[in-house]
C-alpha cells in the first residue's frame, strides 16, 4: 500500500463508551519517511478523523483528510513537503463499537445477576485493525505498540502485554497503560474491556497464564488453565524457543465470530471454546477446548513471532497451527488418537472441498479484504495441515522438527514466506522439498491412485497411476491431466512396507512378494493427501482384513472413506459402499464410525422420500446394532474419552436412522429429567434434546426455550438451540428461525441455527425462504465476510433439485456476495452433483438387496 512510509512504533490511546457504543482515540505513529511526499495513505474504515498532523524536525504541520472508502483508507495531505527521515503522525479519531464482531465491537450478555451487560473487544484479523485506529494494516508492516485505555472504574482491561501502571481520573474513569509490545503485526493486537475476572497460574518457565471470562464464569476456566500450561511446555520444547512474551491470557468473549483468535499474548475465544464445566460440559467440548487452545498457542510462535509476508501465505499460518496443535494434543492425550480423528476432521473435510471443480489452490493471489476473507476455509486450514503431515511423514519427524526450528530462529520478529520454510526444510533434509510441495500448494485438487496387480502371476510389481479426483463427471473433467509428486507407501498382509515417490502419470513399483490371497494397502495410516481406487478383487481381500481387524484404525478408516468418495464421484455404484459397510459391523473405533456414518447420512439425505428409503434406513440400523449394544445408554465415570464420543455419536445416528427404541428412550429420559429435576449426563444431553425434539410438540418446544432463557452457560444454550431446529412442525421451525434474529440468540449462533435447520428435510426449504426474506439484515450482519457468511451459504448444499438450484442462482444474481463468491460456486456445484448422483444411482439403490445383506 505504502512504499513511502514505514511505521516503527504506535502510541495508541482508546476510550470506549460502552453505554453509547462509541469510542474515541488518539494515535501517534512514529514513522520513517522513505521519500519526499505531500500525502500519506493509511488504512481507516468507519472512523472519523477529528484532527491529523505530522511532526518532523520539531515542526508540526496539520494535515487535511480525505477518505477512500473502497480501498479502506484515509489520505492525509500536507501543503508542506514531508521529507525523508523520521516523523510523528498524530491522529485523533472517533468510531462506533459495532455489533458485527469485527474491529472494535460490543458484546452483550446477561451477567451473573441476570442483568444486561456489555463488554468491548477487538477482532482484527485479517483486515479490521483499521476499524479501531488508523494504521498501516498489513502483516509485513510490523511495529511496536504502546497501548493505553481509559475505562470505567469497575471494568478491567486486557491487552497483549502486562499492565504497566494505572491512574484514576476525576470523571469516574481510570486509565491503564500496557507495556510496550515486541515488534509485531497489527492484526494480532488486542484489547478487551469489561467486567472480567480470571484465574491464574505461573508456568514452570515463569510465564503467567490466566483464563478470563465475564465475572462469575471464571471457575469454568480451570480445565483450560491446566491444558494451557501443559501445551506451553510442549511447544517450548518442540520449537526450542522460549514463549516470547511475559504473560499469556486466554479470554472468553460472549459474542465471537470465529472459534478463537491468536492475538499475541491475549488469545480471545468464543465461550464454549474455552470454558469447561465438569458437570455440564460434554467430552466433545473437553476435546474442542484443548484443541483450540493448542492451535492458538502454536500461533504464538508460528504466525505471531514469525508472520507471513502477505495473506497469500495465510495457509502456512493456519495449517501449521492446526497440525502443530494436534501434535501437542496427541502427545498430551494419547488416548484421544488425535491423528486418526484428524483424518475425519481435517483430511476428510479438505478432500471433500478440494474434490470440487470450484476449489482453489492453497497458495492464492489475494488483494482486497473480500478475497483475503475467503481464504479462511478448509483448504487453508485442513488441506494445508494434511500436506504438512504428509511432508513430515516423508522427511521423518526429527528432520522436520529441525527444519522448523531453523525457520523460526531465522525469521523470528520478522516476516517470511512459504518458500522460506521449504528452503529451511530442504537444507535440513537434503530432499527436494520445494519441488515436491510446489505442486501441492499451487494446484487445485488432488489425485486418486489406480493400481493394477496382476494376480494371475506371482507378482511383486504393481502399476500405479494418478488422475485428478473430481466429484463432477463430465466431458470437461475427463481430461484433467495434472500430476502431483506423491509419496506413496504400502503395507501388505505380512506387515511388510515399502515407500515410493510417484512423479509421473503412471509408474511401476516393486513391493514385497504377496500370494494370490494376500492383500496390499496403499497410503499407510492415510498419511498422504490422495484417494485410492482398488479393483474389486483387491477390495474384497482388504474387506476381509477389515473384518478381522488386521489393519489399524486409520487404515480401516481410509478404506471406507476412499470407497465412499468413489461412490460420491460416481466412479463406482453406491451399492459397493453399502456392501463394504458390512465389513465394519464389529468396528469399535470412534473416528472410523464417524467416517462411515458420514457416508450413510449423505445417502440418506439424497434418497429421502424414495421408495427404497425405508429399506436403506433399516439396513443402516442393522449396521449399528452391534456397536449400539456395546456402547449402551449407561455413561460410566471410567469410560475413556473416545467411548464417550462414540456413545453419543452412535445413539444419535440410530435415532436419525429412525430406531424407534432409541427415539423412545430419548423421549422418556428427557421426561424423567424434567419431572424429577435430575440431570441428564452432559455427554447425552445434546442427543437426548435433539432426538426428543424430532418427536416433540409445541409443549416441549416452549420448555426448550424456557430452559434456554434460564441457563447462563453458553454450551447448554447452544445444545438447546440445536434441538430447537429439529422439530418436525414447520411452524416451530419457522419460529426458531425468527427467534434467531432476536437478541435471545447471540449473533454468531444465528448462523448455527440457520445451518442446522437447513440440514433437516422439513427445514431446508423454509430456511432458504427465511434467508431470502431476511437477506437485508443477514447481509448487514455477515455480508462483509468471514466464517458466518460462508457457512450460511454452504448450508444450502443439501438441496437436491433443479428448482432450488435455479432459485439460489437467481437470488444471488441480484443479491451478490462478493465475500463468499467461491462458496456460492461450490454450493451450486454440490447441488448439481447431488442431482446427478441421484439419477446415476437410482436403479442401483432401488434394486440392491438390502434385506439379504442383513443376514
Residue corresponding to grid cell 506451553? 232
Q: Which is nearer to Zn ion, 320 or 593 (CB)?
A: 320
CB 258 to Zn ion: min, Å: 8
* Catalytic residue list contains 163: no
Instruction: Assess contact for 159 and 212: CB atoms under 8 A.
Output: no
CB 166 to Zn ion: min, Å: 32
Q: Which is nearer to Zn ion, 385 or 824 (CB)?
A: 385
CB 321 to Zn ion: min, Å: 5
Instruction: Single out the catalytic residue among 271, 291, 296, 829.
Output: 296
Instruction: Assess contact for 131 and 95: CB atoms under 8 A.
Output: yes
**For residue 74, how far is the Cα from the chain centroid?**
33
C-alpha cell at 122: 477487538
- The binding site for Zn ion (CB under 5 A) comprises 318, 321
Q: Is 371 helix (H, G, I), strand (E, B) or coil?
A: helix
Task: Return d(Cα 302, Cα 476) in angstroms, integer.
Answer: 40
Alpha helices of 632-746 — where are they, by DSSP H?
641-656, 660-676, 682-694, 698-710, 714-724, 730-740
CB 260 to Zn ion: min, Å: 8
Task: Return d(Cα 668, Cα 678) in angstroms, integer.
Answer: 13
Instruction: Assess contact for 2 and 37: CB atoms under 8 A.
Output: no
Residue 211 belongs to what H/E stretch?
A: strand 208-214
The pairing of strands 531-533 and 461-468 is: unpaired
- Name, in order, each residue with C-beta under 8 angstroms of 494's C-beta and a sequence gap of 6 or more: 512, 514, 518
- Name, in order, each residue with C-beta under 8 angstroms of 55's C-beta and a sequence gap of 6 or more: 61, 87, 88, 90
CB 299 to Zn ion: min, Å: 6
267 closest CA partner among 236, 238, 240, 304: 304
CB 295 to Zn ion: min, Å: 6
Task: Return d(Cα 326, Cα 322) in angstroms, integer.
Answer: 6
Instruction: Assess contact for 313 and 363: CB atoms under 8 A.
Output: yes
Q: Give me the phi and psi of 556, to 5 degrees please.
A: -65, -40
Q: Which is nearer to Zn ion, 187 or 422 (CB)?
A: 187
CB 787 to Zn ion: min, Å: 12
487-504: burial string, b at 16+ Cβ within 10 Å, e else: bbbbbbbeeeebebebee
Q: Which is nearer to Zn ion, 260 or 559 (CB)?
A: 260
Across the beta sheet with 196-202, the strand order is: 196-202, 208-214, 247-253, 266-270, 260-261
The torsion of the CA quartet 454, 456, 461, 467, rounded to 10 degrees, works out to 0
> How much of the chain is helix, strand and coil, in % rounded to 5?
45, 25, 30
CB 671 to Zn ion: min, Å: 42
* DSSP annotation of 732: H
CB 266 to Zn ion: min, Å: 15
Across the beta sheet with 59-62, the strand order is: 59-62, 47-56, 85-96, 22-33, 5-17, 144-152, 173-178, 163-168
Task: Return d(Cα 221, Cα 219) in angstroms, integer.
Answer: 5
Task: Return d(Cα 681, Cα 679) in angstroms, integer.
Answer: 6
Q: Is 35 helix (H, G, I), strand (E, B) or coil?
A: coil
The torsion of the CA quartet 325, 330, 333, 336, rounded to 10 degrees, works out to 110
Q: Which is nearer to Zn ion, 287 or 572 (CB)?
A: 287
Q: Which is nearer to Zn ion, 126 or 254 (CB)?
A: 126
CB 719 to Zn ion: min, Å: 25
Q: Is 395 helix (H, G, I), strand (E, B) or coil?
A: helix
Task: Return d(Cα 739, Cα 542) in angstroms, integer.
Answer: 50
CB 394 to Zn ion: min, Å: 24
Q: Which is nearer to Zn ion, 259 or 573 (CB)?
A: 259
Instruction: Assess contact for 109 and 194: CB atoms under 8 A.
Output: no
CB 296 to Zn ion: min, Å: 7
Task: Return d(Cα 125, Cα 660) in angstroms, integer.
Answer: 47
Residue corresponding to grid cell 497451527? 321
Q: Which is nearer to Zn ion, 63 or 362 (CB)?
A: 362
* DSSP annotation of 746: -
Q: Which is nearer to Zn ion, 321 or 511 (CB)?
A: 321
Task: Return d(Cα 274, Cα 293) in angstroms, integer.
Answer: 8
Q: Give me the phi and psi of 361, to 5 degrees please.
A: -65, 155
Within 13 A of 259's CA, how many CA atoms are on the CB side? 15
Q: Which is nearer to Zn ion, 188 or 688 (CB)?
A: 188
Q: Which is nearer to Zn ion, 321 or 356 (CB)?
A: 321
CB 303 to Zn ion: min, Å: 7
Of all residues in this chain, which one has the CB nearest to Zn ion in the complex?
Answer: 321
268 closest CA partner among 374, 184, 158: 158
Q: Which is nearer to Zn ion, 295 or 468 (CB)?
A: 295
272-294: burial string, b at 16+ Cβ within 10 Å, e else: bbbbbbeebbbbbbbbbbbbbbb
Q: Which is nearer to Zn ion, 269 or 727 (CB)?
A: 269
**Residues noted as catalytic:** 296
Amino acid at each position: 500500500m505504502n512504499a513511502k512510509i514505514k511505521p516503527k512504533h504506535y502510541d495508541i490511546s482508546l476510550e470506549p463508551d460502552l453505554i453509547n457504543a462509541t469510542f474515541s482515540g488518539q494515535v501517534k505513529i512514529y514513522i520513517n519517511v522513505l521519500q519526499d511526499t505531500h500525502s500519506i495513505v493509511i488504512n481507516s474504515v468507519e472512523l472519523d478523523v477529528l484532527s491529523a498532523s505530522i511532526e518532523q524536525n520539531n515542526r508540526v504541520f496539520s494535515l487535511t483528510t480525505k477518505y477512500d472508502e473502497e480501498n479502506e483508507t484515509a489520505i492525509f495531505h500536507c501543503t508542506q513537503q514531508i521529507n525523508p527521515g523520521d516523523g510523528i503522525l498524530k491522529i485523533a479519531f472517533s468510531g462506533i463499537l459495532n455489533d458485527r464482531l469485527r474491529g472494535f465491537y460490543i458484546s452483550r450478555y446477561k451477567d451473573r445477576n441476570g442483568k444486561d451487560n456489555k463488554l468491548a473487544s477487538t477482532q482484527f484479523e485479517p483486515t479490521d485493525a483499521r476499524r479501531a485506529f488508523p494504521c498501516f494494516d498489513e502483516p509485513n508492516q510490523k511495529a511496536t505498540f504502546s497501548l493505553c485505555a481509559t475505562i470505567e472504574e469497575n471494568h478491567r482491561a486486557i491487552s497483549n502485554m502486562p499492565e504497566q501502571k494505572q491512574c484514576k481520573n476525576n470523571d469516574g474513569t481510570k486509565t491503564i497503560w500496557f507495556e510496550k509490545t515486541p515488534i509485531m503485526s497489527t492484526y494480532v493486537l488486542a484489547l478487551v474491556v469489561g467486567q472480567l475476572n480470571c484465574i491464574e497460574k505461573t508456568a514452570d518457565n515463569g510465564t503467567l497464564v490466566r483464563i478470563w471470562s465475564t465475572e462469575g464464569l471464571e471457575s469454568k476456566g480451570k480445565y483450560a488453565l491446566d491444558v494451557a500450561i501443559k501445551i506451553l511446555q510442549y511447544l517450548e520444547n518442540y520449537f526450542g524457543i522460549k514463549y516470547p512474551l511475559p504473560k499469556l491470557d486466554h479470554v472468553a468473549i460472549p459474542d465471537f465470530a470465529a472459534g478463537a483468535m491468536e492475538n499475541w499474548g491475549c488469545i480471545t475465544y468464543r465461550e464454549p471454546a474455552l470454558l469447561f464445566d465438569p458437570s455440564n460440559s460434554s467430552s466433545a467440548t473437553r476435546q474442542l477446548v484443548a484443541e483450540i487452545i493448542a492451535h492458538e498457542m502454536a500461533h504464538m510462535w508460528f504466525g505471531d513471532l514469525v508472520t507471513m509476508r502477505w495473506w497469500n501465505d495465510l495457509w502456512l499460518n493456519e495449517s501449521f497451527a492446526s497440525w502443530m496443535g494436534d501434535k501437542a494434543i496427541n502427545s498430551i492425550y494419547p488416548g484421544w488418537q488425535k491423528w486418526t480423528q484428524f483424518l475425519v476432521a481435517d483430511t476428510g473435510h479438505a478432500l471433500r472441498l478440494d474434490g470440487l471443480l470450484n476449489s482453489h489452490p492453497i497458495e492464492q493471489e489475494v488483494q482486497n479484504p473480500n478475497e483475503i476473507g475467503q481464504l479462511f476455509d478448509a483448504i487453508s486450514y485442513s488441506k494445508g495441515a494434511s500436506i504438512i503431515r504428509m511432508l513430515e511423514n516423508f522427511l521423518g519427524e526429527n528432520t522436520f522438527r529441525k527444519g522448523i526450528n531453523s525457520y523460526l530462529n531465522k525469521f523470528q520478529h520478522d516476516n517470511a514466506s512459504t518458500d522460506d520454510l521449504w528452503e529451511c526444510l530442504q537444507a535440513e533434509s537434503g530432499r527436494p522439498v520445494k519441488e515436491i510441495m510446489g505442486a501441492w500448494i499451487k494446484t487445485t485438487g488432488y489425485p486418486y491412485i489406480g493400481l493394477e496387480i496382476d494376480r494371475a502371476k506371482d507378482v511383486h510389481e504393481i502399476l500405479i497411476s494418478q488422475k485428478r479426483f473430481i466429484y463432477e463427471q463430465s466431458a470437461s473433467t475427463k481430461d484433467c491431466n495434472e500430476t502431483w509428486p506423491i509419496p506413496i507407501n504400502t503395507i501388505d498382509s505380512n506387515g511388510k512396507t515399502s515407500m515410493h515417490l510417484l512423479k509421473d502419470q503412471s509408474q511401476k513399483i516393486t513391493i514385497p512378494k504377496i500370494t494370490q490371497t494376500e492383500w496390499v494397502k496403499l497410503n499407510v495410516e492415510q498419511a498422504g493427501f490422495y484417494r485410492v481406487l482398488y479393483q474389486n478383487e483387491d477390495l474384497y481381500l482388504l474387506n476381509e482384513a477389515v473384518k478381522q481387524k488386521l489393519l489399524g484404525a486409520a487404515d480401516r478408516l481410509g478404506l471406507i472413506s476412499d470407497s465412499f468418495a468413489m461412490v460420491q464421484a460416481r466412479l463406482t455404484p453406491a451399492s459397493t459402499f453399502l456392501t463394504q459397510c458390512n465389513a465394519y459391523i464389529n468396528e469399535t473405533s470412534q473416528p472410523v464410525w464417524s467416517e462411515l456414518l458420514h457416508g450413510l447420512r449423505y445417502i440418506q439425505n439424497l434418497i429421502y422420500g424414495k421408495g427404497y428409503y425405508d429399506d436403506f434406513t433399516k439396513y443402516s440400523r442393522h449396521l449399528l446394532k452391534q456397536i449400539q449394544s456395546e456402547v449402551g445408554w449407561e455413561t460410566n465415570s471410567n469410560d475413556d474419552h473416545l467411548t464417550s464420543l462414540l456413545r453419543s455419536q452412535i445413539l444419535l445416528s440410530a435415532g436419525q436412522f429412525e430406531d424407534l427404541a432409541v427415539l423412545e428412550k430419548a423421549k422418556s429420559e428427557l421426561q424423567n429429567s424434567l419431572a424429577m429435576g435430575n440431570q441428564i449426563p452432559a455427554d447425552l444431553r445434546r442427543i437426548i434434546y435433539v432426538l426428543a425434539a424430532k418427536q416433540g410438540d409445541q409443549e416441549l418446544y416452549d420448555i426448550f426455550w424456557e430452559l434456554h432463557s434460564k441457563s447462563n452457560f453458553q454450551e447448554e444454550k447452544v445444545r438447546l438451540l440445536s434441538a430447537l431446529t429439529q422439530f418436525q412442525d414447520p411452524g416451530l421451525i419457522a419460529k426458531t428461525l425468527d427467534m434467531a434474529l432476536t437478541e435471545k440468540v447471540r449473533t454468531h449462533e444465528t448462523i448455527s441455527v440457520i445451518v442446522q435447520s437447513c440440514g433437516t428435510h422439513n427445514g431446508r426449504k423454509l430456511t432458504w425462504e427465511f434467508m431470502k426474506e431476511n437477506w437485508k439484515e443477514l447481509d448487514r450482519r455477515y455480508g462483509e465476510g468471514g466464517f458466518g457468511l460462508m457457512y450460511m451459504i454452504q448450508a444450502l448444499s443439501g438441496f437436491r433439485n433443479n428448482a432450488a438450484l435455479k432459485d439460489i442462482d437467481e437470488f444471488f444474481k441480484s443479491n451478490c456476495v462478493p465475500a463468499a463468491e467461491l462458496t456460492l460456486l461450490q454450493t451450486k456445484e454440490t447441488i448439481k452433483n447431488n442431482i446427478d448422483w441421484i439419477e446415476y444411482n437410482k436403479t442401483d439403490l432401488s434394486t440392491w438387496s438390502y434385506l439379504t445383506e442383513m443376514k
